[in-house]
Each structure stands twice: as structure tokens, then as C-alpha cells.
């Protein structure tokens, strides 16, 4: 059973953690890529812009999948110790 004091401590810890991550969070490479494309002012059509976004989306999904695979390998390695 969680006491009121324990619950308040957990909530404060979560808030502190969220504040810390908000302060230290940097923009992802994908966010930077979208910003760079926007700042280039390429003068492309909406259709071309959508195609470009699909390329960036595909790259981000592939990078995410690669990172998850590596994270799972690390987890499995240390989980079996």
C-alpha cells in the first residue's frame, strides 16, 4: 500500500525528472533535418515537399529500428548475466 507521503514523494520525483529532461533535451537529428530543409527555402512544390518528408520519415524509421535493435541486444546481454 502506498502512503500519502510516499505518493507525494513519487509525484515530486517524476516532476523533477521531467523538468531535468526538459532542460537537457536537445533537438533530435530528425527535427534538425526538418528545420534545415525548411530554412533552405528550396522553392519546391507541395508534392515535392511531401516526397521529401517521406524520405526523412523513412530515414527516421530505419534509424529508430536500428537503435531499438541495438538496445534490445544490450538489454539481452546484461539481462542474462
Task: For 5-41, write each residue's pLDDT tens digit.
Answer: 555 656 665 666 666 555 556 777 777 887 888 888 8
Provide, rounded to the nearest whole percent, the portion of the chain with pLDDT above 70.
Answer: 68
Q: 56 falls in which pLDDT band (50, 70, 90)?
A: confident
Q: Cell numbers 541495438 correspond to what residue?
A: 70
* Residue 53, in any domain of the structure: yes
Calculate mean pLDDT across residues 50-59: 85
| Containing structural domain, residue 64 | 42-81
Tell whether 62 is covered by a domain: yes
CA 24/CA 35 separation, integer angstroms: 20
Domains: count for the chain? 1
pLDDT score of 10: 65
Residue 60 pLDDT > 70: yes
Higher per-residue pLDDT: 54 or 20 = 54
Query: What residue spans of the chain are helical by DSSP H?
Result: 4-24, 29-40, 46-79
Residue 26 lies in a domain: no
Distance CA 43, CA 52 (A): 13
| Residues constituting the chain | 81
What is the structure's pLDDT at 6?
57
* Residue 48 placed within a domain: yes
Amino acid at each position: 500500500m502506498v502512503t500519502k507521503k510516499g505518493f507525494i514523494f513519487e509525484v515530486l520525483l517524476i516532476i523533477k525528472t521531467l523538468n531535468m529532461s526538459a532542460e537537457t533535451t536537445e533537438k533530435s537529428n530528425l527535427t534538425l533535418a526538418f528545420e534545415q530543409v525548411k530554412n533552405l527555402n528550396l522553392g519546391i512544390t507541395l508534392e515535392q515537399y511531401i516526397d521529401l518528408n517521406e524520405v526523412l520519415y523513412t530515414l527516421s524509421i530505419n534509424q529508430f529500428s536500428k537503435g531499438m535493435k541495438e538496445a534490445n541486444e544490450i538489454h539481452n546481454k546484461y539481462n542474462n548475466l
